[in-house]
Amino acid sequence: MSRFTFMYRCPAKINLELRVRKRRHPEWGNRHELDTIYCGVGLHDYVSAEARDEGTGLVLALPNNKENPRPAPGSPEFESNLVIRAARALAEACHVSPDAMIRLEKNIPIAAGLGGGSSDAAGTLIALFHAWGEAGKFDAPGAIVPGGDMLMSIAANLGADIPFFLGSIDESGLAHGTGYGEKVEYYHPARPTWPRPADPEWEKWAPKAVALAMYDDGLSTADVYRRFDEIGSTPGNRNDLQRAALDLHPRSADAIRSAQSDFGITSAFISGSGPTVAALCSSIGEAWQLAEYWSRYHMADRTASVTAPDTMWPLPLENPNFERNY
């Protein structure tokens, strides 16, 4: 069995604009139809995958989770983790046994509207594609070698944000997402002749730096959408879910107000389903100052100043085939 390990730096995302259609679709997990601008940002989880012997199953290691660094297979924490769901979905689609050691280092807050779980799932799909390929699993009788379309289909069925992260490894980290997660078009400011559409006004969607206000008490995406169904959105907000998120998490409004009134930053808003507040800044220095201000006056439990856009990226390990695979 090949013991090559493949590791990915998995970025967070913010939604520079998020429009939520009222219509839900039963074939897409009863999701709402979305129209959004994704932007990867420089806050990262790290996912690595290594093939295990046939029939030995999946192992999940969470090295910076002091309470439960290796959840037991079959436990709720194990089975509900998106990296495990991604591994099982890939194995099922390719007709192979799901055998792998997956390590997940979490730095992106959970239930924060930053897409950390989705990014981890995308990193897992790519890492396992390489790890299982090197181990020869896809060469077995009846197995299917996954192509790009298959990986994107698996990603879209797992979650609405996962295709964006999956595709960002070869793209700009800035994209227009529509439908139910299955349609992603990347902006290419440096490649105006690229075949896929590039927004001629791409600069308005491309922040240089972002300040993030994050909170220990996350928000359930399902709860936010349920509240959105009840109270709708506020005209003029970048994010149609902002009204619902602030109704469930009023503390986020303090960070938005302070960015606007104390720093003159007009673009401060809830990212995704919240409660994280993102403020678009003119420089990393301005983002750092705002993040420090939020921390000093306890407007957030955790802050970060990050660059943008950012993409998923492979990390070199002691792997003789690294260059060939990447």
Strands (E), the chain: 5-25, 31-51, 58-61, 100-105, 174-179, 183-186, 209-214, 268-270, 277-281, 302-307, 313-315
**CB 8, CB 46: distance < 8 Å:** yes
**CB 233, CB 216: distance < 8 Å:** no
- Secondary structure of 20-40 in the HEC alphabet? EEEEEEHHHCCEEEEEEEEEE
17 is written with which tokens? 């604009």
Residues recognised as catalytic: 13, 161
Task: Map residue 45 onto helix, strand or coil.
Answer: strand
Across 119-151, b (16+ Cβ under 10 Å) vs e yields bbbbbbbbbbbbbbbbbebbeeeebeebeeebb
Selection from 316, 319, 317, 311 nearest residue 41 by Cα: 311
- The two most distant CA atoms of the chain are separated, in Å, by 64
Selection from 266, 161, 252, 220 nearest residue 228 by Cα: 220
- Rounded-to-integer distance, Cα 141 and Cα 128, Å: 19
6 is written with which tokens? 């493949």
- Rounded-to-integer distance, Cα 15 and Cα 123, Å: 20
The DSSP call for residue 208 is S
199 is written with which tokens? 């927004």
Could you tell me the CA-to-CA distances from 20 to 30, 137, 206, 271, 273 in Å, in that order?
13, 40, 21, 13, 11
